[in-house]
Structure 1
């Protein structure tokens, strides 16, 4: 699940982290494979690979796993050939959902995603049926202690970003999607490597859910996120504090 720190915090407290970590590793390794095959195995000249390596570090993936994935993807031998896919639809309570994936079989993935929507109170729509409700942004994140709020904002503006926000969780710099790698490189030269640098879907407006509806929506998102071919799931809902606390209990 991407874009909802509150939700991620809930998930973090649920346990069963080993299985989650294994799935997360598999998704990052798949992104590394696609990044290498779409460019070069050298991260200094392959922005997408650099972003994938940042995701690997954020997931605490062992260095050996990363190096093996790069070597395998850059080898002459065939191996898996993944394509990027995106699905859109509505979940319970009219929540808009975007699903991004990497798959070696479009028909299988589309069928599984459609079945997940149908089984859990949603419906998959056509391309662009909900993406107009979201902004596609570049997001660069840093720990809070790397800079003051003013210094990060100043650096973000100089780098060509649109905004910088500071919370208890850290600094978040947002920019136009086409400026992501340029903004990241400028910030990295000043503050060092970011926690993450990625493209994100951010909702223009959100739907506030009560506990019952939240459980239904999160169940669907869980099922989608658990699919091996799914890389990220985005949705336009918001959880009040009391609902988040009840779900975490």
Structure 2
């Protein structure tokens, strides 16, 4: 029975992972679709599409999926009209949260996101209610083995970046939103495609979560947001200490 139970647990975890992977693919395909609809199917002249393609590679999305999404968006059919929208508020424990969405029905998405905030004991606020606590950056990541920290710092600054944070896990490069396309293209020409490239919200200061119960409530809240089909990205200023984070796994 123990072996059977273990098998069921493994299958359950695999099913959950497959479901999460499918969710990620759906969000990226929507991003590709919107990018092509807005500026065409040529990545060389469509910065938004290049960012979406980096996300697809990062998620190991099959090439066929990407090509079908581009072909569908390039068709004459007007298709679905997606709107970019952002919601802000405070999650459980007073954590500041920014939720970015792509939706074909704002009247559906806004109540759904508000309900997730409310159910978790949080509060969705007006536009700008928490974004002042974050900085908006262009962000690129390269593997640690690509260059040494000093070499990456020099290459990034030459490319027009503002800052580089290097660790054993990799190099994280930050630049202004306006310079993102230029920095990405300069570094790609020199180093190849980054592991990740996108526009992000980076918290100016962390908000500590100091107990396991609060951390569990916060993670459940984040899972609920990310499970919503219209939600593309979620940014927060939570700081969960490593000893508590280990108990969440």
Structure 1 residues 105-138: Cα deviation after superposition (integer angstroms, max 9, x where no partner) = 0010001000000111111000000000000000
Gaps of 5+ in 2: 1-12
Q: Distance in 1 between matches of 2:139 and 2:17?
A: 26
Work out the CA distance in 2 between the residues paired with 1:211 and 1:179: 40
Paired position in structure 1 for 2:174: 174
The reply to whether residue 214 of structure 1 matches residue 211 of structure 2 is: no
What CA distance in whole angstroms lies between the structure 2 residues aligned with 1:136 and 1:42?
Answer: 26
Secondary structure in 2 aligned to 1:166? strand
Q: CA deviation at 1:15?
A: 7.5
> Could you tell me how far 1:78 is from its partner in structure 2?
2.2
Higher Cα Rg, which structure? 2
Aligned residues: 236
Matches of 1:239 and 1:126, distance apart in 2: 26
Residues in 2 aligned to 1:194 and 1:90: alpha-carbon distance in whole angstroms? 32
1:80 CA drift (Å): 1.3
| Structure 1 residue runs of 4 or more that deviate by more than 3 Å after TM superposition | none
1:118 counterpart = 2:112? no
Tell me: CA distance 1:34–1:132, structure 2 relative to 1, closer, same or farther (3 Å): same
The residue number in structure 2 matching 1:4 is: none
Find the counterpart in structure 2 of residue 90 from structure 1.
90
Q: For 1:1-249, what aligned pairs fall within 5 Å after superposition?
A: 16-209=16-209, 210-248=211-249
Q: Quote the Cα distance in structure 2 between the aligned partners of 1:236 and 1:103.
A: 25
Secondary structure of 2:193's counterpart equals: coil
The answer on whether the counterparts of 1:27 and 1:231 sit within 8 Å (CA) in structure 2 is yes
Aligned to 1:246, the other structure's residue is in SS state helix
Equivalent position SS for 1:177: coil
Whole-angstrom distance in 2 between the partners of 1:145 and 1:15: 33
Cα pair distance change 1:79/1:36, threshold 3 Å: same
* Alignment TM-score, normalising by the size of structure 1: 0.93
In structure 2, how many angstroms separate the alpha carbons of the residues matched to 1:228 and 1:205? 29
Task: Tell me the distance in 2 between the aligned counterparts of 1:15 and 1:100.
Answer: 26
CA drift of 1:208 comes to: 1.1
Using the alignment, how far apart are the partners of 1:235 and 1:70 within structure 2?
A: 31
